[in-house]
A and B are shown apart, each in its own frame.
Chain A
């Protein structure tokens, strides 16, 4: 999937796929009972609501000329009854629709989120995180109304339209025909404006999301902007982006505001015509005043359902685009998952074997080709080599974050493709290049890897990575809140915390991917001394560029061009005078 920036509008396709609606069935089904009862009530209550002009007509045409006070009171009592019963209907409906709408999106959202947890790194790497976020939060929210009130209104509007026409026809066929003559015009106007309107708002929402993306980036990168004095240029770009929002909004409102005048003018022409015909008919005594008043009232009620239906049509189309993106995410294949009959990984002793492993992130690409090695439990393996050589890939395969193209990865002679992922990964401690911290206390962040760890265990882990001292120096010690990405801490300090987090998990295999690159060598040394005791019985893989970090490894592997070019301990490789030797020497020459 191509990447998206603030400069490019997000594409929203207007596709109508019945399949998507069918899939929603699963979420609607639990509410089928509630939905049908509500539908019944709603139809009944809107039918009752439509009676008012009819009753007024009877009063004007019959009760008043006949001075029938009893009839006026009876009809009023009946109206009062309909009003009261409507309160109950309305309550039931509002309650039911809130439950249906909110319930559906809660269930759908949970499904989507749960699925996201199973998706591979590649999914998250290939698109802006903001785009994934809006799928889970915003897009699903916008479905809520369509699936509850929208659907309900559509059905009732269709019925009320029918009922109105039926009532009008019962009262007077000739006037009905006059009134209905304006219908096609009204329909056409409403739908054309609605469609134009939708397009205009689509443009607006694309422009708005561009602007939001730019604001977000501007805030996140403001330190860079200030340090390069680029404020003026940024403001220029922002003026452009915000100007686009302004323009598209103005365009949108210009179209949207056409709606009312059109309806009003068409209605007023129809009503005028109606008056002309009606007055003539009343003169011939074939029509009464009450009928005329009732008709005018009904014509006004006409446009509401039509407008609502046009509205629903628009929401439907927009939401189909959202649904498309939501289901696309739910359908995203889970590439790495437990095989059928996958077994529990026994407690790992720590032997790791690669047998002719070949791997590429994309088809036809070979990041690793024919990688084979074995290491014994308790070994420390250092991976060195130029950036992009495939070091990170090697360690990612040990945790089975990706499926191999060829070959096998064995842990304790067990092929890891046949074991349950959770049982494998829970025995590994992985420290990544990007030391991501969650917002929360330092204590919570370290505890993340083992939620049942006691405070003492957390502190012990922090001590073993030399993080305890600086943590105690912060305002509230372990209870200090760190911001998103730990922005209050220096990069080195963040790395120490995520190191403690990895250790706390008591992993059998520890993977350190440039985990200490921003920590000074002195602290690193103290750290390693503290660790050596802890690491005694664990196998560890270390990716680093610092000689001091790697030279004591049991085995150093030079990864270059997707293969292991050299293998051995520091002394052996120095004696070899190959790549490793050159790498080491380059640090000191020049």
Chain B
């Protein structure tokens, strides 16, 4: 199985620690056979044989063995836990890394909750396996075998009598494990269902209230709640079926010892001390069978989780830096599209962008307008190589983006997205996201330009105010301005503003644009800027404007040229300025 082959090196890295631990543990188990023997010898030699002087020796052995065993067992357990933590730490790091090089396309298809459970639930199952199952299995096999051997050495018929219940325990345990497996899965599923019903309800609480759907939501929840209850009751039913049987088999052992052992002693086939000794080994028959059965379930669990994690880890990274690419200087900002076509799905004729060509020189401002769904956001995503074009080339500074070392490429491009996402962190932390070590002045400066400084300062805790994951607590316009400040603070060569001022009033937007222009002027460096917007006022000062319709560029030119063309742009402008006094 390839998942195992993939997962094994994580453990093999610590093989000496693991082997050393197993050795300590094996010695320990063999030593645990001694104490019941001592108890038997005390009865045989000291009490019945009258050799009182032996008592202290036996007791000293018992105490020292217990002491030695408890200390080494402690060391062993801690060794295994810390090793398993190391293994899991490495695994987590690798998954986390994989997520950060994984492509947008993958995230478009996979839900946050599912990815999340790979890193929590599944990793936890693997932790349990590496910390416990890998020693529990050899340990329990050894205990069982050792107990049977020692007991057989003492008395074979009695040992055989005591093994009578083992098949019943094994049979029930296997049946139970089989039935529990789907039952547990059902509980897991219903649990995650309950979680998502609840989580959506909390996330969408405004919508729920706006449409007075509280009762409907409660009904939906009641169903999920009841299903979770049923799933839990179902596992309880399986356990009720088998657990009492297995427990009774355990409880039968003293009974068998009493009956068979007692009768054998009476008939002189067994010494009393032998009976006492065997009673000390009883637990060594029962516990291992029970534990081994659980281990079977554990292995199943771990294997499922390993499969799921591996499934995620083996996903190819379609967009990665070519091996020969080295980290380079920040890009200058010349952008060129050569006959670029792109589609999200593999179906033919589903092109989102068709044959796009344009050139933006360093320092130019490019406006992009077009209807909802016309491909504006996709076009922007291609510049940072979040997706690869199906045909044609995207060039930055004359070099195909596919030849770049990705972080170097993206470092020079700040992409402020339409769908604003803020981290639950301070405002400062959010703005400094791209440049964590930036001095405060850069942060203030960026906030100032994005017209966020004023409202941020007005908040009781200012830049230390913590905002939520989706920036809950801020108005739409405020969120957009913080995300804009975040892009500015990155001090990029290429700035992409994807509809980031839609919730900002016109006056503020105007101020922001002036401040941006002034900043670029002052710094003396040229910055290429892309502005995607619906309000033409946002783009009318651009060096040139691209009009996108159904994935193709239908018009291009500056504001005046486009007006002169009397096409889509001109009509749009007329519509938007309608009612305006002429000559404004």
- B579 lies within 8 A of A226 (CB): no
Q: How far is the CA of A529 from the CA of B169 in the complex (A)?
A: 76
- B107 lies within 8 A of A223 (CB): yes
Within 8 A of A (CB), among B540-556: 541
Contact segment of A10-18, A75-83, A189-197, A405-413: A75-83
Q: How far is the CA of A438 from the CA of B82 in the complex (A)?
A: 42
Contact with A along B499-517 (1 / 0, CB 8 A): 1001111111110011000
Q: How far is the CB of A470 from chain B (nearest CB, A)?
A: 5
* A83-B252, A514-B476 as given contacts; A60 in contact with B96, CB under 8 Å: no
Within 8 A of A (CB), among B483-537: 486, 490, 499, 502-510, 513-514, 534-537
Most chain A CB atoms below 10 A, which of B70, B77, B584: B70
- B469 lies within 8 A of A217 (CB): yes
- B198 lies within 8 A of A136 (CB): yes
Least CB separation from B481: chain A residue: A387
Instruction: Please name all residues of chain B whose beta carbon is closer than 8 Å to the beta carbon of A4 when the two chains form the complex.
Output: 424
- B244 lies within 8 A of A547 (CB): no
Contact with B along A250-293 (1 / 0, CB 8 A): 10011001101100110011011001100100110000010011
Q: How far is the CA of A222 from the CA of B111 in the complex (A)?
A: 13
Within 8 A of B (CB), among A35-80: 49, 52, 55-56, 59-60, 63-64, 67, 69, 72-73, 75-76, 79-80
Instruction: Please name all residues of chain A whose beta carbon is closer than 8 Å to the beta carbon of B111 when the two chains form the complex.
Output: 439, 483-484
Q: How far is the CA of A313 from the CA of B245 in the complex (A)?
A: 30
* A98-B233, A493-B373 as given contacts; A128 in contact with B469, CB under 8 Å: yes
Q: How far is the CA of A446 from the CA of B266 in the complex (A)?
A: 84
Q: Residue B200 contacts which of A243, A261, A484 (CB distance < 8 angstroms)?
A: A484
Q: How far is the CA of A130 from the CA of B415 in the complex (A)?
A: 28
- A257 lies within 8 A of B77 (CB): yes
Q: How far is the CB of B189 from chain A (nearest CB, A)?
A: 14
- A279 lies within 8 A of B55 (CB): yes
Q: How far is the CA of A282 from the CA of B351 in the complex (A)?
A: 95
Instruction: Please name all residues of chain B whose beta carbon is closer than 8 Å to the beta carbon of A388 when the two chains form the complex.
Output: 455, 475, 477-478
Q: Residue B576 contacts which of A6, A487, A521 (CB distance < 8 angstroms)?
A: A521
Instruction: Please name all residues of chain B whose beta carbon is closer than 8 Å to the beta carbon of A27 when the two chains form the complex.
Output: none
Q: Residue A386 contacts which of B211, B255, B418, B507 (CB distance < 8 angstroms)?
A: B507
- A387 lies within 8 A of B503 (CB): yes
Q: Residue A551 contacts which of B212, B228, B466, B578 (CB distance < 8 angstroms)?
A: B578
- A519 lies within 8 A of B372 (CB): yes
Q: How far is the CA of A137 from the CA of B240 in the complex (A)?
A: 25
Instruction: Please name all residues of chain A whose beta carbon is closer than 8 Å to the beta carbon of B580 when the two chains form the complex.
Output: 547, 584, 588
Q: How far is the CA of A83 from the CA of B259 in the complex (A)?
A: 14
Q: How far is the CB of B197 from chain A (nearest CB, A)?
A: 9
Contact with B along A170-196 (1 / 0, CB 8 A): 000000000000000000000000000
**In the assembled complex, A231 has its CB within 8 A of some CB on chain B:** yes
Least CB separation from A8: chain B residue: B466
Binding site of A, secondary structure by majority: helix, strand, loop or mixed? Answer: helix
**In the assembled complex, A205 has its CB within 8 A of some CB on chain B:** no
Instruction: Please name all residues of chain B whose beta carbon is closer than 8 Å to the beta carbon of A265 when the two chains form the complex.
Output: 66-67, 70
* A64-B266, A490-B377, A586-B506 as given contacts; A228 in contact with B47, CB under 8 Å: no
**In the assembled complex, B307 has its CB within 8 A of some CB on chain A:** no
**In the assembled complex, A113 has its CB within 8 A of some CB on chain B:** yes
Q: Residue A519 contacts which of B211, B410, B490, B534 (CB distance < 8 angstroms)?
A: B534
- A261 lies within 8 A of B59 (CB): no
- B216 lies within 8 A of A451 (CB): yes
Q: Residue A275 contacts which of B55, B108, B204 (CB distance < 8 angstroms)?
A: B55
Instruction: Please name all residues of chain B whose beta carbon is closer than 8 Å to the beta carbon of A49 when the two chains form the complex.
Output: 251
Q: How far is the CB of B457 from chain A (nearest CB, A)?
A: 13
**In the assembled complex, A32 has its CB within 8 A of some CB on chain B:** no
Within 8 A of B (CB), among A221-248: 221-235, 238-239, 242-243, 246
- B433 lies within 8 A of A228 (CB): yes
**In the assembled complex, B390 has its CB within 8 A of some CB on chain A:** no
Contact with A along B173-198 (1 / 0, CB 8 A): 00000000000000000010011101
Q: How far is the CA of A582 from the CA of B508 in the complex (A)?
A: 12
* A260-B73, A491-B499 as given contacts; A521 in contact with B572, CB under 8 Å: yes
Instruction: Please name all residues of chain B whose beta carbon is closer than 8 Å to the beta carbon of A272 when the two chains form the complex.
Output: 59, 62-63
Q: Residue B468 contacts which of A128, A246, A276 (CB distance < 8 angstroms)?
A: A128
**In the assembled complex, A303 has its CB within 8 A of some CB on chain B:** no
Q: Residue B507 contacts which of A94, A257, A498, A582 (CB distance < 8 angstroms)?
A: A582
- A491 lies within 8 A of B209 (CB): no
Contact with B along A549-590 (1 / 0, CB 8 A): 001100000000000000000110010000000111111111
Instruction: Please name all residues of chain A whose beta carbon is closer than 8 Å to the beta carbon of B410 when the two chains form the complex.
Output: 226-229
* A219-B112, A279-B52, A574-B581 as given contacts; A261 in contact with B73, CB under 8 Å: yes
Contact with B along A356-367 (1 / 0, CB 8 A): 000000000000
- A546 lies within 8 A of B535 (CB): yes
Within 8 A of A (CB), among B28-66: 39, 42-43, 46-48, 50, 52, 55, 59, 62-63, 66
- B221 lies within 8 A of A113 (CB): yes
Q: How far is the CA of A385 from the CA of B505 in the complex (A)?
A: 7
- A235 lies within 8 A of B77 (CB): no
- A125 lies within 8 A of B473 (CB): yes
**In the assembled complex, A349 has its CB within 8 A of some CB on chain B:** no
**In the assembled complex, A394 has its CB within 8 A of some CB on chain B:** no
- A133 lies within 8 A of B198 (CB): yes
**In the assembled complex, B358 has its CB within 8 A of some CB on chain A:** no
* A548-B575, A586-B506 as given contacts; A59 in contact with B199, CB under 8 Å: no
Q: How far is the CB of B108 from chain A (nearest CB, A)?
A: 6
* A125-B472, A436-B203, A548-B576 as given contacts; A76 in contact with B81, CB under 8 Å: no
Instruction: Please name all residues of chain B whose beta carbon is closer than 8 Å to the beta carbon of A125 when the two chains form the complex.
Output: 468, 472-473
* A55-B258, A229-B407 as given contacts; A218 in contact with B244, CB under 8 Å: no
**In the assembled complex, A505 has its CB within 8 A of some CB on chain B:** yes
Least CB separation from B217: chain A residue: A117
Instruction: Please name all residues of chain B whose beta carbon is closer than 8 Å to the beta carbon of A98 when the two chains form the complex.
Output: 232-233, 236, 240
* A98-B233, A220-B421, A491-B499 as given contacts; A86 in contact with B55, CB under 8 Å: no
Instruction: Please name all residues of chain A whose beta carbon is closer than 8 Å to the beta carbon of B222 when the two chains form the complex.
Output: 110
Contact with A along B212-224 (1 / 0, CB 8 A): 1110111001100
**In the assembled complex, B205 has its CB within 8 A of some CB on chain A:** yes
Q: How far is the CA of A439 from the CA of B111 in the complex (A)?
A: 10
**In the assembled complex, B287 has its CB within 8 A of some CB on chain A:** no
Within 8 A of B (CB), among A81-116: 83-84, 86-87, 90-91, 94-95, 98-99, 102-103, 106, 109-110, 113-114, 116
- B200 lies within 8 A of A94 (CB): no
Least CB separation from A90: chain B residue: B244
**In the assembled complex, B8 has its CB within 8 A of some CB on chain A:** no
- B52 lies within 8 A of A283 (CB): yes
- A243 lies within 8 A of B424 (CB): no
Q: Residue B276 contacts which of A124, A222, A293, A492 (CB distance < 8 angstroms)?
A: A293
- B96 lies within 8 A of A587 (CB): no
- A484 lies within 8 A of B112 (CB): yes
Instruction: Please name all residues of chain A whose beta carbon is closer than 8 Å to the beta carbon of B100 when the two chains form the complex.
Output: 218, 222, 225-226, 231, 234-235
Instruction: Please name all residues of chain A whose beta carbon is closer than 8 Å to the beta carbon of B191 when the two chains form the complex.
Output: 137
Instruction: Please name all residues of chain A whose beta carbon is closer than 8 Å to the beta carbon of B161 when the two chains form the complex.
Output: none
Q: Residue B476 contacts which of A90, A128, A136, A434 (CB distance < 8 angstroms)?
A: A434
Contact with A along B254-293 (1 / 0, CB 8 A): 1101110011011000001001100100000000000000
Least CB separation from B97: chain A residue: A235
Q: How far is the CA of A186 from the CA of B59 in the complex (A)?
A: 20
* A434-B476, A547-B576 as given contacts; A86 in contact with B209, CB under 8 Å: no
A5-B466, A113-B221, A545-B503 known; 5 new pairs, CB 8 Å cut-off, are A137-B198, A386-B507, A425-B210, A470-B373, A485-B203
A-B contact pairs, 24 of them (CB 8 A): A3-B467, A72-B259, A79-B255, A83-B255, A87-B245, A91-B240, A137-B191, A223-B104, A228-B414, A250-B85, A279-B42, A387-B455, A388-B475, A425-B209, A439-B196, A487-B108, A520-B372, A522-B572, A524-B534, A548-B575, A548-B578, A551-B579, A583-B505, A587-B510
Report the 4 A-B pairs with minimum CB-CB distance, sorted nearest first.
Answer: A492-B372, A261-B70, A98-B236, A387-B477
